Amino acid sequence: MIHEQCSKCGKDNHPERIQMNLRECISCSSTGKYGAVPMWGHKTGSEVVIVKDKATANRINKAFDRRNYGVTKGMMGKVN
């Protein structure tokens, strides 16, 4: 079944949403934004993990923020 109109507001759905058989337009959709977390298995090789909850992604990114560790701990101000 193709849903050309939004099931909530009746406006036309975007062609890509119709193709994916989504019933609601972007404005009416209750799905939240996704977040991304970089995972470093090695210093030169990383992967990006998609996290369904953006708040969780922000917490993970904050926990692994490296600005206050090691050599960068004492660095402040502009670099000339």
State the pTM of this model. 0.47
> What would the pLDDT profile of 31-74 be if each residue is shown by its tens digit?
888 888 888 777 777 788 888 888 888 888 887 776 656 555 55
Assigned domain for 77 exists: no
Assigned domain for 45 exists: yes
Assigned domain for 55 exists: yes
Domain span at 7 = 1-31
Per DSSP, the residues of the chain read: ----B-TTT-PBPPHHHHHTT--S-TTT--PPPPEEEEEEEETTEEEEEEES-HHHHHHHHHHT--TTSGGGGG--S---
Task: Check whether residue 46 and residue 61 sit in a common domain.
Answer: yes
Task: Check whether residue 39 and residue 25 sit in a common domain.
Answer: no
> What would the pLDDT profile of 6-18 be if each residue is shown by its tens digit?
989 999 988 998 8
Assigned domain for 75 exists: no
Name the domain count of the chain. 2
